[in-house]
Amino acid sequence: MRVLFLQPNYPPEMQDYTRGLAEVGAEVYGIGDTPPQALAPKVKAALKAYLQVPRIMDEDDVIARASNWLRGQEIDHVFSNWEPLVILAARMRERWGIPGMSVDVVRGFRDKDLMKARVRAAGLRTPRSRRARTKSEVWAARDEIGYPMIVKPIAGAGSADTYRVDSDAELEKVLALTAHLPEVNCEEYIDGEEFTYDTICIDGRPVYENCAQYLPKPLEARSQEWISPVVITVRDMNQPHIRKGVELGRAVLRALGMGDGFTHMEWFYNRKGEAVFGEIACRPGGAHLVDQMNFTSDIDLFREWARVVCWRRFEADATRKYNVGIIFKRAKGRGRITRIEGLEEWKRRWGPWVVVDALLRPGQVRRDWRQTLLSDGFLICRHPDWNLAKEMCFDAAIRITMYAE
């Protein structure tokens, strides 16, 4: 089994997918823009061969270089688990006649307007939306959708360049902030709780499922620096409102023609009790969501994903044991971290339920919270009881304070 995996070293979580591929017996060929000498040790150990390219986003150049590099060798699969490269992986499969999702199918997971059109055509509840390439088209979308309205990239990831707009004056400002984007998606704002629906699929059929709740919603967390964003995986997937999201997610997978691999969907549970589709990607969630899912069941989904895409088998016991929360912290001030207050007390209070402490330490430079959800580090905790898991997370969000100067 020979697998070509794109960008095996970056973002850092790709290193564990590379490891997983090798652990299930794949011969792994990597292509990326990281210099060979800078590859992480576990990536070097997992790779059969590696090609460095000058510009990983230059799809035509990467395909040409890869074709020359692999001439005379048979490749069974081409994968990418990083959002910007999923179309490139599909183009390579089509170019070389390798099985897997086509460019058209993958584009349905990448282009947010096309995505919603296909989901809507299947009779599923989606926000009203419209593609806009010019300012006049954005204003026309405003007339059609009304306020509040969301403006975001057609093919973005996470909540980057995503804005809620409540007035004409705010829309004028957002038009300036998004002027660098060739096109945007304007959509109805859904008032409700926001969740994920995550899967690993074989032929579009989930063999693993997860839901997690955002507290608060990502758009709010990206708008206020003082917020410590929290995400908690849901242990009990049989709750009525969670079941609605799961049923919606399965229908979305069918509507979009999902094949094998990870998916990451966001959905809303609104005040009417409806599960409303948000968006979906044919790759895993970022910001350590897969680590949270691993802690939920004490499994290794990096390896199980690899087993699924290589051998079409899922072998782990995915019994859900815990609600697992991650808390992202943002320091007060600018410059280097100087001190952390409340951390040790929090650890003593919750003891064995704390599983990861990855906060920056004094002397390390603050990160730009607008550019990364990871902010100035994170904590992971877990508990079988939802209310206690949530209490732990908010205890960390409120009582732990990081300072920088």
| pLDDT values of the chain reduced to their tens digit, one per residue, 405 residues | 999 999 999 999 999 999 999 999 999 999 999 999 999 999 999 999 999 999 999 999 999 999 999 999 999 999 999 999 999 999 999 999 999 999 999 999 999 999 999 999 999 999 988 899 999 999 999 999 999 999 999 876 656 788 999 999 999 999 999 999 999 999 999 999 999 999 999 999 999 999 999 999 988 888 889 999 999 999 999 999 999 999 999 999 999 999 999 999 999 999 999 999 999 999 999 999 999 999 999 999 999 999 999 999 999 999 999 999 999 999 999 999 999 999 999 999 999 999 999 999 999 999 998 888 899 999 999 999 999 999 999 999 999 999 999
Contact between 219 and 279 (Cβ < 8 Å): no
pLDDT score at 156: 67
Neighbours of 400 (CB within 10 A): 20
Neighbours of 128 (CB within 10 A): 15
Query: Do residues 333 and 272 share a domain?
Result: no
CA distance 32 to 137: 37
In a domain, 113, yes or no: no
Contact between 112 and 40 (Cβ < 8 Å): no
Query: Do residues 207 and 177 share a domain?
Result: no
In a domain, 70, yes or no: yes
In a domain, 110, yes or no: no
CA distance 233 to 290: 10
Last residue of a domain, one of 288, 310, 332: 310
Contact between 164 and 219 (Cβ < 8 Å): yes
Which residue matches tokens 């292509």? 31
In a domain, 115, yes or no: no
Query: Do residues 58 and 164 share a domain?
Result: no
CA distance 23 to 46: 8
CA-based nearest residue to 93, from 296, 260, 316:
260
Query: Do residues 173 and 198 share a domain?
Result: no
Last residue of a domain, one of 188, 209, 224: 188
pTM for the whole structure: 0.92
Query: Do residues 149 and 174 share a domain?
Result: yes
Q: Which residues contact 59 (CB under 8 A, 6 or more apart)?
A: 87, 88, 91
pLDDT score at 371: 85
For residue 220, the domain's CATH number is 3.30.470.20
In a domain, 365, yes or no: yes
pLDDT score at 149: 94
CA distance 106 to 304: 22
Query: Do residues 295 and 373 share a domain?
Result: no
Query: Do residues 176 and 254 share a domain?
Result: no
In a domain, 252, yes or no: yes
In a domain, 120, yes or no: no
Query: Do residues 16 and 80 share a domain?
Result: yes
Which residue segment(s) compose the domain that 215 sits in? 192-310
Neighbours of 258 (CB within 10 A): 25
Query: Do residues 133 and 160 share a domain?
Result: yes
CA distance 176 to 155: 19
pLDDT score at 161: 83
CA distance 191 to 207: 31
Last residue of a domain, one of 140, 161, 188: 188
Task: Count the helix, strand and coil residues of the chain and give each as a percent rounded to the nearest 5.
Answer: 35, 25, 35
For residue 152, the domain's CATH number is 3.30.1490.20
Structure tokens at 34: 């990281």
pLDDT score at 373: 87
For residue 14, the domain's CATH number is 3.40.50.20
- Strand-pair category, 275-281 with 261-270: antiparallel
Number of domains in the chain: 4
Cα 400 to chain centroid distance, Å, stands at 26
Angle at 292 between CA 365 and CA 259, to 5 degrees: 115
Query: Do residues 216 and 285 share a domain?
Result: yes
Query: Do residues 200 and 239 share a domain?
Result: yes
Q: What are the two backbone dihedrals, phi and then psi, of residue 83, each rounded to the nearest 5 degrees?
A: -45, -45
Distances (CA, A) of 172 to 134, 153, 154, 189: 13, 16, 19, 18
- Amino acid 322 reads Y
Query: Do residues 378 and 363 share a domain?
Result: yes
CA-based nearest residue to 232, from 284, 295, 283, 277:
295
In a domain, 265, yes or no: yes
| Alpha helices, DSSP H, located in 191-233 | 218-221
